[in-house]
Amino acid sequence: MSIHPLQFLEIPRRNPEKDGAQLRVQHYKEIYGSFDAADAASQAGRCLDCGNPYCEWKCPVHNYIPDWLKLIEEGKLFQAAELSHQTNSLPEICGRICPQDKLCEGACTLDDANGAVSIGSIEKYITDEALKQGWRPDLSRVVDTGKRVGIVGAGPAGLAAADVLARNGIRSVVFDAYAEIGGLLTFGIPSFKLEKQVVRTRRNIMEGMGVEFVLNTRIGEDKPFQTLLDEFDAVFLGMGAYKFIKGGFQGENLPGVHEALPYLIASIDKELETDHPALPYIDLAGKRVIVLGGGDTGMDCVRTAIRQDPISVTCVYRRDEVNMPGSRRDIENSKEEGVQFLFNRQPLEIVGDDHVTGVRVIETRLGSAGPDGRQLPENVAGTEQLLPADAVIIAFGFNASPADWFADFDIRLRPNGLVQTESGGRLPFQTTNPKVFAGGDMVRGADLVVTAVFEGREAAAGIARYLGV
């Protein structure tokens, strides 16, 4: 593939420059810069075109990675943008926030010996630069079918469904409770990972494709769900999973203990200067902060907290660093920014009288594998300790949060509360109500943005078949 077959040896892997830690903890802007055309081409040219593209198979949306790397090496930016959008509705967003080290780049043939191709940074470059130069999705050959779909939720799954429907001549109206599109892309993921103008730009693109957004509207409250069934030929649900997972130990309700998502939303509200903030801002300046949990949400919390001028921020995780579910890149950035990590520590209790004063933990070691194949932490007797804290953020993840009106419309749930799809000969992501489809976290459980994009796209394909398009 490469014009210079040994380019992977001659040119080392690199990512765009990033701000130094002392500078970046003073702001909420994205910390990484961008490639220029020459850098993107030289990094893309490191691809071996290895015949069996492991990167492509590991990618949840199965991007045509080697193909658009070749186009970038050849300077064919617009063609690369078109190809990138054939498989991914939000490539500039996935390029920024996907854990590439665990997905495409982790599967790259070069990863171990020579350093993986900088796939994520090139993916980001393709759409960012193409849009700057005037590229827009080409819908000139799309014929309007006259069909209309109502979409509930303007997060990754809903946006991906709307994108694919538009490309099939099916108009959609996307309803969302927030004042901006994006769901957690806007109100959950901090701006130092994803600046909100990126999401606003995607909204402009989609509106140019004919997608309509109706915001500040809660389906089931501000607008009855029956109205959507009456007005549209089909409905897609992409409402996410927002039920906070508790630890089940004493002290979780003490003042000074915060849930991860409300904490992040309030911080972003303040940053965006939202006229009507959804939640009160939580100021952690001058506090000793402990974050419980080692996933991506936990990393978002520690990196947000470290920007609020605290005394200290400590992440407590019950397994070792190798088994942390969070992105390697985020963990590295957190350490650089001054976050401390305590691994192999199991929280036992949050202590305090009228306010949190600490977290009692016990050391752990990894034992036998659990049902999911991961080793289970076992407590080590006699190793308890008390960690002083003025604020605690619990980031154990999210469970299903189905709407109470689902049952009224024969939208059945699995025992774990996730929406039931694809059984009894139904179309992909079709619920037990044949007119209603669903995808993303409310079907799969809390997962990556890119998996929600994939499911939204697949559901849209199922809707097109249902409508005979």
Mean pLDDT across 274-291: 89
Contact assessment for residue 430 and residue 466, using Cβ atoms and an 8 Å cutoff: yes
Is 80 exceeded by the pLDDT of residue 2?
A: no
Which of these, 89, 122, 86, 90, lies nearest to 104 by C-alpha position? 122
Q: Average pLDDT, whole number, for the chain?
A: 95
Which own/partner pairs from 101-105 qualify as long-range (CB within 8 Å, at least 24 positions apart)?
Answer: 101/327, 101/328, 101/329, 102/327, 102/328, 103/58, 103/59, 103/60, 103/450, 104/55, 104/56, 104/58, 104/59, 104/63, 104/65, 105/55
Write out the E strands in 263-371: 288-292, 312-316, 340-342, 345-352, 356-369
What distance separates the 2 farthest-apart alpha carbons in the chain?
70
Tell me how far CA of residue 38 lies from CA of 9, 71, 75, 122, in angstroms.
Answer: 18, 13, 9, 11
Mean pLDDT across 55-74: 97
d(CA 413, CA 419): 4
d(CA 35, CA 41): 9
- Are both 7-132 and 244-397 of the same fold? no
pLDDT at 174: 98
- Three-state DSSP at 326 gives coil
Least confident of 33-42, 43-52, 162-171: 43-52
Span 244-397 CATH architecture: 3-Layer(bba) Sandwich (3.50)
Q: What is the pLDDT of residues 196-236, one digit of tens each?
A: 999 999 999 999 999 999 999 999 999 999 999 999 999 99
Mean pLDDT across 256-279: 88
The residue count of the chain comes to 469
Contact assessment for residue 387 and residue 358, using Cβ atoms and an 8 Å cutoff: yes
Mean pLDDT across 303-314: 98
pLDDT at 51: 83
Q: What is the pLDDT of residues 359-412, one digit of tens each?
A: 999 999 999 998 888 899 999 999 999 999 999 999 999 999 999 999 999 999
d(CA 70, CA 93): 21
pLDDT at 425: 73
Contact assessment for residue 234 and residue 175, using Cβ atoms and an 8 Å cutoff: no
- What residue has token string 């000074």? 256
Span 7-132 CATH architecture: Orthogonal Bundle (1.10)
In sequence order, which ranges of 247-375 are alpha helices (DSSP H)?
A: 260-272, 296-305, 328-336
Whole-model pTM?
0.95
d(CA 63, CA 81): 12
- Three-state DSSP at 21 gives helix
pLDDT at 275: 66
d(CA 72, CA 76): 6
pLDDT at 3: 54
Is 60 exceeded by the pLDDT of residue 194?
A: yes
* CA 253 from centroid of its chain's CA atoms: 28
CATH entry, 148-241+400-466, from 3.20.20.410, 1.10.238.10, 3.50.50.60, 1.10.10.60 = 3.50.50.60
Task: For residue 155, give every residue at least 6 positions away whose Cβ sits within 8 Å of its Cβ, in sequence order, or none.
Answer: 176, 182, 183, 184, 185, 238, 239, 240, 440, 452
Contact assessment for residue 214 and residue 417, using Cβ atoms and an 8 Å cutoff: no
Which of these, 36, 35, 42, lies nearest to 10 by C-alpha position? 42
Domain boundaries, the chain: 7-132, 148-241+400-466, 244-397
d(CA 161, CA 186): 18
Q: What is the pLDDT of residues 339-362, one digit of tens each?
A: 999 999 999 999 999 999 999 999
